[in-house]
Amino acid sequence: MQVDDIDRVAVLGAGSMGHGITEVVAIGGYDVVMRDIEQEIVDEGYDDIEWSLQKLSEKGLIDEDPDDVMARVSTAVDLEAAVEDVDLVIEAAPEQMDLKKDIYGDLDEFTPEHAILASNTSSLSITEMASATDRPEQVVGTHFFNPPVKMDLVEVIYGDETSDETAETASQFIESIDKTPIYVKKDVRGFVVNSVLGPFGDEAAWAVSEGDATIEQVDAAMVHQRGYPMGPFELSDMTGIDIGYHVRKEAGQPIPPIVEEKVENDNLGQKTGKGYYEYEDGDGTTYEPGDGEGFDTLRIEARMVNEAAKLVGNDVATPDAIDTGMRLGAGFPEGPCRRADKIGLDEILDTLETRYEQTEAERYRPADYLVELVNGGHTGEDAGRGFYEYGSDDGNREYRTINVERDDRGVLAIELDRPERMNALNEDLMDEVEHVLDNADLDEVRCVTFEGAGDRAFSAGADIGGFAGMEPYEAAEVTSMFETVNDFPRPTLAKIDGFCLGGGHELALACDLRVATEDSEFGFPEISLGLLPGGGGTQRALRMIGEARAKELVFRGNRISADRAENWGLINRAVPSEAFDDVVGEFVDDLVSGPPVGLRFAKQVMNEGDDASMPAALAMESQAFGLLMSTDDMMEGASAFMEDRDPEFEGK
């Protein structure tokens, strides 16, 4: 079955996941029926969807009226009636194999023959569920993350007999509801995200159990030095210490003493008021930024990379799927494969081998694929190949953190594509932006636009994780991308919808023009981190809006509204969301139809003149004026004016 053949969807279960999945499927435009075993539970799930849609609508996160979305949602208690005419079923019933097998037996009987049966299970075997049906090739895993409305990732899991057609249709369906699918090509325990995430908590717990570190030290190091959104112990308290305990038990893995002790004493985390931190008698986490000093974070990261290597080596997932999964599913600042290629796979392997020799603990045994890569000389980015191929820098590079498109009018559109980190700038992203601009064909490009992916931010700053562990001399080079943008010989426009903070704000200021939605917010929060805006922010803001206002932004670190930003001259226009595309369109129309050489010189003399004395700046201006007098574009401009028509400039 093809994705276009899917019209009606059934979701089984109206619990935490079921109602959320129903909601995203309805927002995606499908008719969906949500089924649970009692009317009361279904009604509760229905109310939850209604409430959530209202919230999304208030925040401007859905375009449609919530009532129109609700009109596509129906509910049922009777299974047969619910699924008799659907094309796809997503099952989100409790995590018990016997129950799921019963359900799959019934579904096989009641659903149309062509229907795909998908399970939202987070840990059970798709193959085993499929065995309860006569259509195992049409059974697939679609593992959403909690809460489905917010989390972008869905793992699409093959059972042993799942057909490519079924998996592809499931994957396209996930895309059609605006989520990001990754393929998990084999039915392995934990699929991709939980497999790689396992060692994050496990190795942390061993480090503390073995007396090598304290809880605060590990959490602080992973968050403040390595940029993870939460420390391993903090995360474990949030998800429940018993969850990780049972996963290890089932997998037959040894359990770190500290985990054993917490479970024995029923200190399971936030839900019991106490875990690694105190929630009832305390304020939760107690680690501070400096506490991480001295902890060897590589022992945790090397083990995650090792899991990734097992998955790649066993053809379960590609490095790209793993990295996407970890960024979107676990909020990692960058994927483990990419990060490992930067660290050096030889160093990762060395860490594992040394610990394996010292402890003989199975968890450090290096994956065959990792050994293979290192023995083959594929030790990472510096070697030209690791998990990824880096190849020669011939301008045809595949970008990972930005999307780039050029239309036939010459608009080079650059989208910052790290929505899960609010498009924060990291080393890769800045490097890729520079690469695009350095390799742009000026004959083909008439203007450049920058925007942020997702619906929350242009860019919320620089990714602190990326700066941690950086030497001072390296930080001094952070600004090169901003200068490349500032000096690019074509006009640049920042399209700002949402947060425009820190490094993102500085990128916007490095552009020539800025148009923002009214709800956007601007600021330089760097001072609260003990830093200052380092991408030219102090200087460009100063020249643009004057000393008093620039110092207010930089010293106080507060955010200002788009209206105030417009008032201050920080941006060109603040416009209502509805008018945003039109206003941006008008700016872009003028930029692409303007004379390229004229615009180039105008930009250059205005940028450079800003730093020069008035006489020197005027001299630059008249020199540029003289040069322009001899261009074809000037002749074309003059004749079009005389003939009362629109000029067609060619940049000559």
Q: Which residues are catalytic?
A: 506, 526
- Binding-site member from 95, 266, 589, 611 for ligand NAD (CB under 6 A): 95
The nearest distance, CB 145 to ligand NAD, in angstroms, is 6
Judging by DSSP bridges, how do beta strands 153-158 and 88-91 pair with one another? unpaired
Point out which span in 138-146, 296-304, 536-544, 564-572 binds ligand NAD (CB under 6 A): 138-146
- Report the C-alpha gap between 129 and 123 in whole angstroms: 12
Q: Is the CB of residue 308 less than 8 Å from the CB of residue 194?
A: no
**What is the x/- site pattern for ligand NAD, positions 340-379, by CB under 6 A?**
----------------------------------------
Number of amino acids touching ligand NAD (CB under 6 A): 22
Cβ distance to ligand NAD smaller for residue 93 or 220: 93
Point out which span in 9-17, 127-135, 198-206, 542-550 binds ligand NAD (CB under 6 A): 9-17
Cβ distance to ligand NAD smaller for residue 69 or 247: 247
Cβ distance to ligand NAD smaller for residue 79 or 515: 79
16 touches ligand NAD by CB under 6 A: yes
- Report the C-alpha gap between 328 and 277 in whole angstroms: 26
The nearest distance, CB 329 to ligand NAD, in angstroms, is 10
- Binding-site member from 103, 268, 305, 575 for ligand NAD (CB under 6 A): 103
Point out which span in 114-122, 157-165, 292-300, 576-584 binds ligand NAD (CB under 6 A): 114-122
Cβ distance to ligand NAD smaller for residue 119 or 324: 119
- Report the C-alpha gap between 336 and 320 in whole angstroms: 10
User: Which parts of 23-82 interact with ligand NAD (CB under 6 A)?
Assistant: 35-37, 41
Q: Is the CB of residue 24 less than 8 Å from the CB of residue 53?
A: no
- Report the C-alpha gap between 425 and 238 in whole angstroms: 28
- Report the C-alpha gap between 28 and 7 in whole angstroms: 11
CB-based closest residue to ligand NAD: 15
Cβ distance to ligand NAD smaller for residue 234 or 521: 234
Q: Tell me the Ramachandran region of residue 156: left when phi exceeds 0, alpha when psi lies from -120 to 50, beta otherwise.
A: beta
Cβ distance to ligand NAD smaller for residue 324 or 426: 324
- Binding-site member from 1, 10, 90, 92 for ligand NAD (CB under 6 A): 92
Question: How long is the chain?
Answer: 652
CA distances from 135 to 66, 129, 131, 161 (A): 37, 11, 8, 9
- Report the C-alpha gap between 317 and 587 in whole angstroms: 44
Cβ distance to ligand NAD smaller for residue 317 or 440: 317
The nearest distance, CB 93 to ligand NAD, in angstroms, is 4
12 touches ligand NAD by CB under 6 A: yes
Q: What ranges in 240-367 are assigned the alpha helix state H?
A: 241-251, 257-264, 298-313, 319-330, 336-343, 345-359
Judging by DSSP bridges, how do beta strands 153-158 and 139-144 pair with one another? antiparallel
- Report the C-alpha gap between 422 and 254 in whole angstroms: 38
Judging by DSSP bridges, how do beta strands 88-91 and 116-119 pair with one another? parallel
The nearest distance, CB 13 to ligand NAD, in angstroms, is 3
Query: Which residue in 587, 589, 599 sits closest to 633, CA to CA?
Result: 599
Ordered strands of the 559-561 beta sheet: 457-459, 499-501, 521-523, 559-561
The nearest distance, CB 456 to ligand NAD, in angstroms, is 22
The nearest distance, CB 14 to ligand NAD, in angstroms, is 5
14 touches ligand NAD by CB under 6 A: yes
DSSP string, 563-608: HHHHHHTSSSEEE-HHHHHHHHHHHHHHHHHS-HHHHHHHHHHHHH
Point out which span in 93-101, 279-287, 573-581, 617-625 binds ligand NAD (CB under 6 A): 93-101
18 touches ligand NAD by CB under 6 A: yes
Tokens of 26: 């309805």
Cβ distance to ligand NAD smaller for residue 16 or 286: 16
The nearest distance, CB 106 to ligand NAD, in angstroms, is 8
Burial 348-365 (b: 16+ CB within 10 A, else e): bbebbbebeeeeeeebbe
Point out which span in 88-96, 258-266, 514-522, 601-609 binds ligand NAD (CB under 6 A): 88-96
**What is the x/- site pattern for ligand NAD, positions 115-134, by CB under 6 A?**
-----xxx------------
User: Which parts of 403-422 interact with ligand NAD (CB under 6 A)?
Assistant: none
17 touches ligand NAD by CB under 6 A: yes
Cβ distance to ligand NAD smaller for residue 122 or 401: 122
Q: What ranges in 268-318 are assigned the alpha helix state H?
A: 298-313
Ordered strands of the 153-158 beta sheet: 73-76, 31-35, 8-12, 88-91, 116-119, 139-144, 153-158, 180-184
- Report the C-alpha gap between 292 and 286 in whole angstroms: 12
Ordered strands of the 492-496 beta sheet: 402-406, 411-416, 447-452, 492-496, 513-517, 573-575
Query: Which residue in 296, 649, 305 sits closest to 446, CA to CA?
Result: 649
**What is the x/- site pattern for ligand NAD, positions 575-604, by CB under 6 A?**
------------------------------
13 touches ligand NAD by CB under 6 A: yes
Point out which span in 12-20, 53-61, 329-337, 571-579 binds ligand NAD (CB under 6 A): 12-20
15 touches ligand NAD by CB under 6 A: yes
Q: Which helix (H) or strand (E) holds 20?
A: helix 16-27
The nearest distance, CB 170 to ligand NAD, in angstroms, is 15
Cβ distance to ligand NAD smaller for residue 90 or 588: 90
Cβ distance to ligand NAD smaller for residue 16 or 539: 16
| DSSP reduced 3-state for 412 | strand
194 touches ligand NAD by CB under 6 A: no
Binding site for ligand NAD (CB under 6 A): 12-18, 35-37, 41, 92-95, 103, 120-122, 143-144, 146
